[in-house]
Structure 1
């Protein structure tokens, strides 16, 4: 092909519209902190979505993971099941999920969406979800939602579910507070997704840390934090053998202390600034 023809073909091909990066992609949605947890922290969880507009009649179930890292599947009853932890990732996680919903809604019932190209600019989850609908996340100990209730069961699927469940990190939501998750990875930890402004949250944690008020109870310690999808996720190492149902009271008390620290607009003292620097040095960015 001649040089002129190549230029002509390049000019005729429309330029792909890349999705712009969004630091806090789920902002404005109910369950923003839970969505971040589903994308980054929880091994198995689900949450039904109620859509609006042209897709209002399409039932949607958000889940953490699907077999073979499928982006989505359309069940026999028409339900679209979409994975938060999928390999297709643009600069906007909200657009990625919306793109998967749109693509899976066009499939024939009983068909998995095995691959999804990177999306171009388009609808985001905020554009599809009914803002008045309730939000409810459930943490699971297995991947039973992989099985389509309307499809015929098979020994192969049962075996796959059993094998997948063996590798799940035990995780549970802490009752009484929002987006706080206990997990057991050799030791027990609490990972708490927070929606406050990160600088204000850091200052508040520094004030508490300098006053030795960050432990949830004796023997626990704040060991650092993750940062993902524009939100901070403080992490505590718990006392050996601590179960999730033992954390409700101490977590609520810590949240009360944190609220007071957030409301305190006094400048940081030298000791508090040192505490803040120490917290920053233990940050891990997930995405």
Structure 2
């Protein structure tokens, strides 16, 4: 290659846009008060909605939904009500950015518009994550639904693909009850479960669970047992197997008592390190972990 050609090539390279590195975000909802609820709605709650509190004033209200028709990223109903979907078809390395882009779309879309897939390709930019668009201190006020009729305005009959999607979605719903922030009773068929998204760092939660386990206080009473835990979007989700013959409300008080014991164990970690038995219990708990991304 001649000198002129090399010089021309250098000029072309110098003017080329810089490639932005897309880094995986392991805890995409960090900093939001609703983090445990967001993870629960993303991972295992079948049909639920929660109004979003935006960081700035907007004429349009947006409601967060677990699943939208055809697993869309967002849509605006014929009556102008906008919805943002948590359980979607695709994702990038940063779920918060995906949701933020879909939220910005929903704020400006017309009634009847549907965003099938959020933009997961465009390089990151400032001000497009949920942390930028939502009030970070606002808790999510989640409402559970027995079906997906909330997809449609009142007194509206579903048609075409929406009707088929609604029928399939309704058929897949597992009975679910909310027992507290990030804590859900789910009837999975052969047995029921309590899945509890904990907001504390994983290491702390494991140590607190180990302390309860060593003391024989890790269960919710007769008909329950600690099953293990999984990681989801940076937080730990302990899971208990429950006797499904007992109604969800019968586990509400035991879950509240367990939460109090767990909080007490968490508070004790600053002053009292784990003893030998508790460390063995922690090692056993670590062996029963899975990771969801």
Q: Which interval holds the TM-score relative to the shorter structure?
A: 0.7 to 0.9
Q: Decide which of 96, 99, 113 is 1:97's aligned counterpart.
A: 99
User: Aligned in 2, Cα 1:13/1:89: closer, same or farther, shift over 3 Å?
Assistant: farther
- Three-state SS of the structure 2 residue aligned to 1:285 is strand
Task: State TM-score, norm by structure 2.
Answer: 0.86
Q: Decide which of 244, 248, 252 is 2:252's aligned counterpart.
A: 248
The structural deviation recorded for 1:11 is 6.8
State whether residues 77 and 112 of structure 2, in contact with CA within 8 Å, keep that contact through their aligned partners in structure 1.
Answer: yes
State whether residues 51 and 57 of structure 1, in contact with CA within 8 Å, keep that contact through their aligned partners in structure 2.
Answer: no
User: Aligned in 2, Cα 1:14/1:104: closer, same or farther, shift over 3 Å?
Assistant: farther
For 1:98 and 1:178, how far apart are their aligned partners in 2? 23
Q: What per-residue deviation string (whole Å, max 9, x for no partner) do you get for residues 92-118 of structure 1?
A: 221111111112333222111123331
1:83 pairs with 2:85 = yes
Q: Which moved more, 1:31-40 or 1:43-52?
A: 43-52
Unaligned stretches of 5+ in structure 2? none
State whether residues 98 and 119 of structure 2, in contact with CA within 8 Å, keep that contact through their aligned partners in structure 1.
Answer: no
State whether residues 62 and 107 of structure 2, in contact with CA within 8 Å, keep that contact through their aligned partners in structure 1.
Answer: no
- Three-state SS of the structure 1 residue aligned to 2:75 is strand
Task: State TM-score, norm by structure 1.
Answer: 0.88
The structural deviation recorded for 1:202 is 0.6
User: Aligned in 2, Cα 1:6/1:239: closer, same or farther, shift over 3 Å?
Assistant: farther
State whether residues 225 and 284 of structure 1, in contact with CA within 8 Å, keep that contact through their aligned partners in structure 2.
Answer: yes
Which residue does the alignment assign to 1:48?
51
User: Aligned in 2, Cα 1:185/1:7: closer, same or farther, shift over 3 Å?
Assistant: farther
User: Aligned in 2, Cα 1:181/1:132: closer, same or farther, shift over 3 Å?
Assistant: closer
Question: RMSD of aligned C-alpha atoms?
Answer: 2.5
User: Aligned in 2, Cα 1:65/1:11: closer, same or farther, shift over 3 Å?
Assistant: farther
User: Aligned in 2, Cα 1:12/1:111: closer, same or farther, shift over 3 Å?
Assistant: farther
Q: Which moved more, 1:189-198 or 1:89-98?
A: 89-98
Q: Which moved more, 1:141-150 or 1:273-282?
A: 141-150
For 1:7 and 1:115, how far apart are their aligned partners in 2? 38
State whether residues 69 and 166 of structure 2, in contact with CA within 8 Å, keep that contact through their aligned partners in structure 1.
Answer: no
Q: Any residues of structure 2 matched to 1:1-287 within 5 Å, and which?
A: 14-53=17-56, 56-118=58-120, 119-122=122-125, 123-131=128-136, 133=138, 135-149=140-154, 153-156=157-160, 157-158=162-163, 160-174=165-179, 177-186=180-189, 187-265=191-269, 266-287=272-293
Q: What per-residue deviation string (whole Å, max 9, x for no partner) do you get for residues 195-227 of structure 1?
A: 012111111100111111101112311110011
The structure that has the greater radius of gyration is 2
User: Aligned in 2, Cα 1:115/1:12: closer, same or farther, shift over 3 Å?
Assistant: farther
User: Aligned in 2, Cα 1:204/1:159: closer, same or farther, shift over 3 Å?
Assistant: same
For 2:290 and 2:170, how far apart are their aligned partners in 1? 27
User: Aligned in 2, Cα 1:155/1:247: closer, same or farther, shift over 3 Å?
Assistant: same
Unaligned stretches of 5+ in structure 1? none
